[in-house]
């Protein structure tokens, strides 16, 4: 019995003690009165009121203390302190000692070592260490000014959760959002929902992201874009360093040139704002509008440098390009927008309709005003091949110079060691007349819509037009002939296909391409001569020197025969 009474006594003492600790303690007041009619059950404290309650203190000119309810209402120049960290001033405060919740209103100003908050009405939940407002507030720290209609401030983590009409003003930009989590100690800002950041020379839109407001580094991860004066960068993930003017984008990136109406797409890009330069990798493609059509250029790496009026595009490795009336392939491209010069290097090839152009390097010059093709230069080992139903029309020489009219190659000048083979047809019914073979130091050609109109040999011409029967198939192919039709992109998506296919060679004996077939043990070229494939096995081919000797002898015989026929006619 004694033990039971002792336990009850200890429990009672503990509860009473706990209750006493929770009571609001009136430390000082110049005077105190009661007015049961106006304030039943309350004590009115007047003059230099000072109260304490479990770690907070409050000063005011006047206060009404409801002792049983453990509630205090303070009036006039109210100052509330929590430890040495938080100081709040306001006109009015209502504080509940049981719930440890306070409501302050009237020119509320709250300060801690990291920030200053001003609002009309502020709520304070001491148990959760949470401050919140519902009628608008402004928060200032050493770097930024944050405004919002609603918000929460978590004291333990120094985190502001700003909601509805959020505006964060920095000396370099203005950030707007409907949900922003901001940490006053680190300056980190986390954005949720549609948000914008407007700077002096750029604009950012995102629907989810992170911003380090002190280091000026940001990372955006949903529907994000960065707009500069004449550039727009998009991507699934965007990184931006404002101090360096550096941006990078990952996955489904788009780099748009708003001034020159061009776009670069890929899977990763880096943009340097001070140099106005960028590089793109990962299925990279540059898309440019040319004469109401689009040119698609792909390379393993695309590099864009220079200001808008001096912009240069470079593409490296496995380069392909496609336009409805023009396509090509090479190892690298250098295109200068100011001069209109586009250079193709290392095994370049261009296709237009049924024509193929190759050389050691190819230069395309465009009119910078009209953006139409103006001229063409094929330098060293220049070769133009045009497919004909009877075979291949061919032009070759050291260099080839061409002139475009309305994007149609019409004037062609072959300079140095010029050679040509053309199938001559009747203009009326397009029937085949014969084959024209010409050699000269220089030959000029006139074309219209890929059809030969005329030709003129400048110096030391040799050759003529021969009947098909007098011109064997094994000499209808000029030396260096390579038909590369299998590499030709026929649609814009074909530019992404990496086809390390060996150039398609032609069997000089029959004038048709050599077909290669894969067999076990690797891919070994096997000749399929079509008509002869099912006949006897092919005999061992003579050496290249013997073929050249036989070819030269055949040509000499043809020329001599033609000269004799001319003498007889005379």
What sign for the dihedral angle of Cα 386, 392, 395, 400? positive
Report yes or no: 378 and 364 within 8 Å, Cβ to Cβ: no
What's the rounded mean pLDDT across residues 85-103? 94
Residue 13 has pLDDT above 50, yes or no: no
Report yes or no: 273 and 255 within 8 Å, Cβ to Cβ: no
Residue 563 has pLDDT above 70, yes or no: no
Q: pTM of the entire structure? A: 0.73
Rounded distance between C-alpha atoms, residue 148 and residue 257, angstroms: 35
Task: Give pLDDT, residue 118.
Answer: 96
List pLDDT tens digits, range 219-235: 999 999 999 888 899 99
Number of other CB atoms surrounding residue 11 within 10 Å: 10
What sign for the dihedral angle of Cα 313, 318, 324, 325? positive
**Least confident stretch, 104-118, 148-162, 442-456, 474-488:** 442-456
Q: Distances in Å between the alpha carbon of 426 and those of 78, 354, 431, 444, 466?
A: 108, 20, 5, 21, 14
List pLDDT tens digits, range 131-172: 999 999 999 988 889 999 999 999 889 899 999 999 999 888
Residue 531 has pLDDT above 90, yes or no: no
Residues 6+ apart with CB under 8 A from 326: 295, 350, 351, 352, 373, 407
List pLDDT tens digits, range 302-340: 999 988 778 899 999 999 999 988 899 999 999 998 888
Task: Give pLDDT, residue 504.
Answer: 52
List pLDDT tens digits, range 181-223: 999 888 899 999 999 999 888 899 999 999 998 899 999 999 9
- Short-list 118, 117, 68, 129, CA closest to 96: 68
Of 282-296, 315-329, 516-530, give the range with the top mean pLDDT.
315-329
- Short-list 82, 74, 127, 144, CA closest to 105: 74
Average pLDDT, the chain: 82
Number of other CB atoms surrounding residue 548 within 10 Å: 12
**How would residue 424 be classed by pLDDT, with cut points 50, 70 and 90?**
confident
Residues 6+ apart with CB under 8 A from 108: 88, 89, 90, 117, 118, 119, 120, 121, 122
List pLDDT tens digits, range 292-302: 788 999 999 99
**How would residue 457 be classed by pLDDT, with cut points 50, 70 and 90?**
confident
Rounded distance between C-alpha atoms, residue 258 and residue 226, angstroms: 13
**How would residue 6 be classed by pLDDT, with cut points 50, 70 and 90?**
very low
Residue 493 has pLDDT above 80, yes or no: yes
| Consecutive H or E run containing 91 | strand 86-96
List pLDDT tens digits, range 20-70: 448 999 999 999 999 888 999 999 999 999 999 998 999 999 999 999 999
Of 91-95, 254-258, 364-368, 560-564, give the range with the top mean pLDDT.
91-95
Residue 255 has pLDDT above 60, yes or no: yes
**How would residue 426 be classed by pLDDT, with cut points 50, 70 and 90?**
confident
Query: Could you tell me the CATH superfamily of domain 24-111?
Result: Lipopolysaccharide (LPS) transport protein A like domain (2.60.450.10)
Task: Give pLDDT, residue 444.
Answer: 86
Identify the residue with better confidence: 530 or 125: 125
Task: Give pLDDT, residue 505.
Answer: 54
**Least confident stretch, 308-322, 345-359, 416-430:** 416-430
């Amino acid at each position: 019995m004694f033990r039971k009474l002792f336990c009850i006594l200890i429990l009672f003492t503990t509860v009473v003690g706990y209750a006493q600790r929770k009571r609001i303690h009136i430390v000082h007041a110049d005077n105190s009165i009661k007015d049961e009619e106006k304030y039943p059950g309350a004590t009115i404290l007047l003059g230099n009121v000072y109260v304490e309650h479990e770690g907070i203190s409050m000063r005011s000119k006047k206060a009404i203390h409801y002792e049983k309810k453990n509630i205090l209402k303070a009036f006039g120049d109210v100052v509330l302190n929590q430890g040495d960290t938080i100081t709040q001033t306001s006109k009015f405060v209502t504080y509940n000692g049981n719930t440890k919740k306070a409501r302050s209103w009237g020119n509320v100003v709250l300060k801690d070592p990291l920030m200053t908050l001003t609002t009309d009405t502020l709520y304070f939940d001491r148990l959760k260490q949470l401050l919140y407002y519902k009628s608008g507030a402004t928060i200032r720290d050493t770097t930024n000014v944050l405004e919002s209609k609603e918000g929460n401030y978590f004291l333990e983590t120094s985190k502001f959760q700003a909601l509805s009409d959020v505006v964060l003003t920095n000396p370099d930009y203005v950030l707007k959002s409907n949900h922003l989590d901001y940490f006053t100690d680190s300056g980190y800002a986390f954005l949720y929902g549609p948000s914008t950041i407007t700077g002096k020379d750029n604009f950012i839109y995102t629907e989810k992201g992170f911003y380090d407001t002190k280091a000026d580094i940001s990372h955006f991860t949903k529907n994000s874009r960065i707009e500069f004066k004449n550039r727009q960068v998009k991507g699934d993930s965007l990184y931006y360093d404002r101090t360096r003017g550096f941006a990078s984008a990952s996955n489904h990136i788009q780099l748009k040139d708003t001034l020159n109406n061009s776009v670069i797409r890929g899977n990763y890009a880096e943009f340097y704002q001070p140099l106005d330069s960028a590089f793109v990798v990962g299925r990279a493609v540059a898309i440019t509008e040319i004469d109401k059509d689009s040119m698609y250029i792909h390379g393993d790496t695309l590099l864009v440098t220079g200001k808008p009026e001096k912009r240069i595009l470079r593409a490296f490795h496995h380069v392909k390009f496609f336009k409805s009336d023009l396509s090509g392939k090479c190892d690298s491209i250098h295109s200068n927008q100011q001069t209109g010069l586009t250079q193709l290097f290392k095994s370049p090839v261009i296709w237009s309709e049924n024509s193929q152009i190759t050389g050691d390097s190819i230069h395309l010059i465009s009119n910078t005003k009209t953006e139409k093709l103006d001229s063409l230069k094929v330098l060293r080992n220049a070769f133009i091949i045009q497919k004909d139903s009877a075979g291949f029309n061919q032009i070759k020489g050291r260099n080839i110079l061409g002139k475009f009219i309305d994007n149609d190659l019409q004037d062609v000048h072959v300079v140095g060691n010029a050679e040509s083979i053309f199938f001559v047809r009747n203009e009326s019914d397009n029937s085949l007349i014969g084959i024209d073979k010409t050699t000269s130091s220089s030959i000029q050609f006139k074309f219209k819509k890929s059809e030969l109109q005329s030709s003129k040999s400048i110096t030391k011409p040799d050759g003529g037009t021969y009947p098909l029967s007098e011109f064997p198939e094994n000499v209808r192919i000029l030396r260096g002939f390579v038909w590369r039709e299998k590499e030709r992109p026929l649609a814009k998506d074909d530019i992404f296909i990496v086809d390390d296919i060996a150039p398609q060679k032609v069997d000089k004996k029959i004038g048709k391409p050599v077909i290669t077939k894969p067999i076990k043990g690797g891919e070994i070229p096997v000749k399929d001569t079509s008509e002869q494939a099912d006949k006897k096995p092919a005999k061992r081919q003579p050496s290249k020197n013997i073929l050249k000797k036989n070819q030269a002898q055949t040509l000499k015989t043809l020329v001599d025969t033609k000269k004799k026929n001319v003498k007889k006619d005379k």
